[in-house]
């Protein structure tokens, strides 16, 4: 790889020496569980004269440390990470010829670097063909620490490639990201997931289709991973399935991923971190599935009803938001949960009197009840009648009365014809989805 600028190598040498001098002055005590020295690894990368590849690998590791809490990288001070990031940026500018076509140094280096990083990660992976192969055996072949460092470097390089440029590199990036997800270490998996999140946000629709089934199967396999990477696996899975399957509600992958997530949540429904993450990221899957959410409405509502009453305002507000989405998409037709939903919202309205987010919660409840009233007026009136005379609900009942009277009978009828899905349409879509699943099975 050459550049016509005669001072490129001189610039590289100066930047390397600057970083190396700071690195040598940085205190370092290896963690007692570490089997390698991160500082020695960095020194060897930055001691190689005029190696653009090694310089980039060193900078990537130093820069990536800022987002890490792993003991292999937490000893690196912020100022050293900043110097490395700035140095790589400076070299990238020097790499471009004034007036010429702009070149992405990180992208060009990835052709040489990613295969090396992928091999480093695979060295401590589990060989599934070897029945006796366990985590310890994998680590004995090569310390997992090398895979962790390589995963951080890989994630850093991927983050440097953006829209359009990344489209051209999926055949290089995806296999390495999948290797990260296949690794047994949560730390390695996590960096692979962050890489996939970046990819899903920065490629055109259809670019990932060729890898679709392999990628989405990896998502399913990792949903029940360690809690520390639950945030990444949920965001990654939602982004990838909606990116690859787009608006096909009958896709088997929407079914599989949602089912895996619900099963994982049901194992520990009181786990706050799990539910918060899921509630924040799940809506795109709901939007893509549309009416077919009715197939899962029982499992979803049983979880949401539990979470409506937890002592955590953030959870409650997120639950109200997702219930609103479900009602908007499905009108909860032919559902035995309509009356219970009204009852649960009434209980929450009373509970909200003692909560900090009282006004936001009660506003969310009112909006939901108005939506239920408008889409299921007769059924709603039946469910609401038993609460109408409750003195604690006087203000709420008045608001609902105003909402009901604001829509004339003719307008309400026309709105129903235009918006409400027919029972026949819902049944047809659900039956088609079931037949499709059985055929694929």
Q: Give residue-wise pLDDT tens across range 382-440.
A: 999 999 999 999 999 999 988 877 765 544 444 443 344 544 554 554 455 445 445 44
Give mean pLDDT, residues 151-171: 94
pTM for this prediction: 0.88
The distance from CA 245 to its chain's CA centroid, rounded to whole angstroms, is 16
pLDDT per residue over 294-342, tens digit each? 999 999 999 999 999 999 999 999 999 999 999 999 988 767 899 999 9
Angle at 141 between CA 136 and CA 143, to 5 degrees: 75
- Going by C-alpha positions, the residue among 198, 175, 46, 51 that lies closest to residue 117 is 175
Assess whether pLDDT exceeds 60 at residue 93: yes
pLDDT per residue over 19-30, tens digit each? 999 999 999 998
Under 8 Å between Cβ of 238 and 282: yes
**What is the dotted CATH code of the domain comprising 107-129+137-244?**
1.25.10.10
Residue 30: predicted pLDDT: 87
Sort residue 5 into left (φ over 0), alpha (ψ -120 to 50) or beta.
beta
Q: Please give the DSSP secondary-structure letter assigned to residue 421.
A: P
Q: Where are the domains of the chain?
A: 7-103, 107-129+137-244, 272-441
Residue 7: predicted pLDDT: 73
Choice among 8-12, 330-334, 373-377, 414-418 with the minimum mean pLDDT: 414-418
Residue 139: predicted pLDDT: 53
Q: Please give the DSSP secondary-structure letter assigned to residue 422.
A: P
The rounded distance, in Å, linking the Cα atoms of 87 and 83 is 6
Residue 369 pLDDT class (50, 70, 90 cuts):
very high
Residue 50 pLDDT class (50, 70, 90 cuts):
confident
* Token digits of residue 336: 């035995």
* Token digits of residue 317: 């507000």
Residue 411: predicted pLDDT: 46
In our burial notation (b when 16+ CB lie closer than 10 A, e otherwise), range 303-315 reads bbbbbbeeebeeb
Under 8 Å between Cβ of 301 and 337: yes
Residue 357: predicted pLDDT: 96
Residue 8: predicted pLDDT: 80
Choice among 12-16, 61-65, 269-273, 358-362 with the minimum mean pLDDT: 12-16
Give mean pLDDT, residues 61-70: 95
Question: Three-class SS string for 323-372?
Answer: HHHHHHHHCCCCCCCHHHHHHHHHHHHHHHHHCCCHHHHHHHHHHHHHHH
Residue 100: predicted pLDDT: 67
Question: How is 59-99 classified by DSSP, letter by letter?
Answer: HHHHHHGGG--STTTTTS-HHHHHHHHHHHHHHHHHHSPTT
The rounded distance, in Å, linking the Cα atoms of 344 and 323 is 12
Mean per-residue pLDDT over the chain, rounded? 88
Q: Please give the DSSP secondary-structure letter assigned to residue 48.
A: S
The rounded distance, in Å, linking the Cα atoms of 187 and 181 is 10
């Amino acid at each position: 790889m050459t550049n016509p600028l005669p001072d490129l190598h001189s610039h590289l040498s100066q930047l390397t020496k600057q970083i190396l001098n700071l690195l040598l002055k940085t205190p370092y005590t290896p963690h007692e569980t570490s089997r390698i020295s991160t500082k020695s690894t960095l020194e060897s990368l930055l001691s190689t004269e005029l190696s653009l590849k090694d310089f980039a690998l060193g900078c990537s590791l130093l820069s990536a440390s800022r987002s890490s809490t792993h003991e292999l990288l937490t000893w690196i001070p912020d100022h050293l990470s900043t110097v490395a990031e700035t140095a790589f940026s400076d070299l990238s500018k020097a790499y471009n010829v004034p007036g010429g076509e702009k070149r992405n140094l990180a992208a060009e280096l990835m052709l040489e670097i990613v295969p090396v990083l992928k091999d480093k990660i695979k060295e401590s992976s589990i060989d599934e063909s070897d029945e006796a192969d366990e985590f310890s055996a994998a680590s004995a072949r090569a310390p997992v620490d090398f895979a962790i460092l390589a995963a951080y470097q890989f994630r850093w390089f991927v983050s440097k490639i953006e829209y359009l440029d990344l489209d051209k590199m999926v055949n290089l990036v995806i296999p390495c990201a999948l290797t990260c997800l296949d690794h047994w270490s949560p730390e390695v998996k996590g960096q692979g997931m962050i890489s996939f999140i970046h990819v899903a946000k920065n490629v055109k629709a259809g670019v990932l289709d060729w890898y679709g089934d392999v990628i989405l199967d990896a998502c399913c396999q990792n949903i029940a991973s360690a809690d520390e990477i639950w945030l990444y696996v949920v965001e990654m899975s939602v982004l990838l399935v909606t990116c690859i399957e787009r608006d096909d509600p009958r896709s088997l992958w929407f079914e599989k991923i949602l089912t895996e997530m619900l099963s994982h949540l049901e194992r520990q429904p009181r786990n706050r971190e799990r539910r918060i993450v899921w509630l924040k990221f799940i809506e795109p899957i709901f939007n893509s599935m549309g009416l077919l959410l009715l197939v899962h409405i029982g499992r979803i509502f049983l979880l949401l009803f539990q979470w409506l009453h937890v002592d955590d305002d953030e959870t409650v507000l997120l639950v109200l938001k997702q219930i609103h989405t479900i009602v908007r998409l499905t009108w909860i037709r032919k559902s035995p949960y309509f009356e219970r939903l009204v009852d649960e919202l009434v209980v929450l309205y009373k509970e909200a009197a003692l909560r900090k987010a009282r006004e936001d919660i009660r506003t969310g409840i009112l909006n939901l009840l108005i939506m239920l009233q408008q889409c299921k007026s007769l059924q709603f009136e039946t469910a609401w009648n038993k609460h109408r005379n409750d003195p604690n609900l006087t203000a709420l009942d008045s608001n609902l009365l105003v909402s009901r009277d604001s829509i004339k009978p003719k307008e309400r009828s026309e709105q129903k014809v235009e918006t409400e899905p027919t029972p026949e349409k819902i049944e047809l879509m659900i039956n088609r989805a079931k037949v499709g699943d059985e055929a694929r099975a």
